[in-house]
């Protein structure tokens, strides 16, 4: 059975961090894992700013709901195999919120040195048995943790931008 979109506390908890990162940049945005919180918001911001946004999803039901957001600035794509997702180029902001859970660190490694801000959802330490973020945190010079809502903690990672002044 496919992954369903749920409404629970913590599911949209990455939005404050994501919106802050997007507000500090003007370039391309990449969304790995679409959803009812991030996809519409990123779409409206990026489209209104004539800014490239590429969104990937691997769950057919979610993709079917989100493909309505496709326009000249927003590329919406279904992927069966994350290895085939084109992540090349330089990114201002990347949202990491895709499945399967263990795939997240693979793609973070792929993006570590070409992305200003990598926004990682679900970084609460008790969830690390699923996401394994602790394996990739040492790869980054800078890290900021947004811990307002548990279990949906969100971390922002960068090797390019010092996050000492990044506050939400």
Assess if residue 154 is contained within a domain: yes
Which of 51-65, 100-114, 149-163 bottoms out in mean pLDDT, i.e. has the lowest?
A: 149-163
Stated as kind and residue range, the H or E segment containing 110 is helix 103-111
Instruction: Band the pLDDT of 151: cuts 50, 70, 90.
Output: confident
**CA–CA separation, 67 and 154 (whole Å):** 25
Q: Which residue has the tokens 């057919």?
A: 60
| Domain assignment of residue 65, given as a range | 15-158
pLDDT digits (tens, 9 = 90+) for 28-84: 999 999 999 999 999 999 999 999 999 999 999 999 999 999 999 999 999 999 999
Assess if residue 56 is contained within a domain: yes
Q: Could you tell me the maximum CA-CA distance found in the chain, to the nearest angstrom?
A: 43
Angle formed by the axes of helices 38-48 and 15-23, nearest 10°: 10
Whether 1 has a pLDDT exceeding 90, the answer reads no
pLDDT digits (tens, 9 = 90+) for 114-127: 999 999 999 999 99
- In this prediction, residue 11 carries a pLDDT of 72
Q: What is the pTM of this model?
A: 0.93
Instruction: Band the pLDDT of 142: cuts 50, 70, 90.
Output: very high
Assess if residue 167 is contained within a domain: no
Bridge partners (DSSP) listed for residue 95: 31, 119
Assess if residue 3 is contained within a domain: no
Assess if residue 8 is contained within a domain: no
CATH of the domain at 112: 3.40.50.150
Assess if residue 164 is contained within a domain: no
Assess if residue 131 is contained within a domain: yes
Q: Which two tokens stand for residue 66?
A: 């989100």
- In this prediction, residue 2 carries a pLDDT of 58
Collect all residues with Cβ–Cβ distance below 8 Å to 127 and sequence separation of at least 6. Answer: 151
Instruction: Band the pLDDT of 13: cuts 50, 70, 90.
Output: confident
* Overall number of domains in the chain: 1
């Amino acid at each position: 059975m496919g992954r369903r979109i749920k409404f629970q506390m913590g599911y949209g908890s990455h939005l404050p961090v994501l919106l802050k990162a997007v507000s500090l940049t003007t370039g391309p945005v990449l969304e790995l894992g679409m959803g009812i919180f991030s996809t519409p918001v990123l779409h409206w911001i990026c489209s209104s700013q004539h800014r490239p946004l590429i969104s990937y999803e691997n769950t057919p039901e979610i993709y079917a709901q989100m493909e309505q957001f496709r326009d000249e600035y927003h590329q919406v794509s279904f992927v069966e195999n994350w290895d085939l997702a084109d992540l090349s180029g330089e990114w201002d902001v990347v949202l990491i919120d895709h499945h399967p859970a263990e795939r997240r660190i693979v793609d973070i490694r792929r993006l570590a040195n070409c992305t200003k801000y990598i926004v990682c959802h679900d970084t609460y330490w008790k969830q690390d048995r699923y996401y394994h973020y602790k394996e990739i945190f040492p790869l980054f010079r800078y890290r900021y943790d947004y811990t307002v809502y548990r279990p949906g903690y969100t971390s922002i990672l960068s090797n390019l931008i010092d996050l000492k002044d990044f506050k939400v």
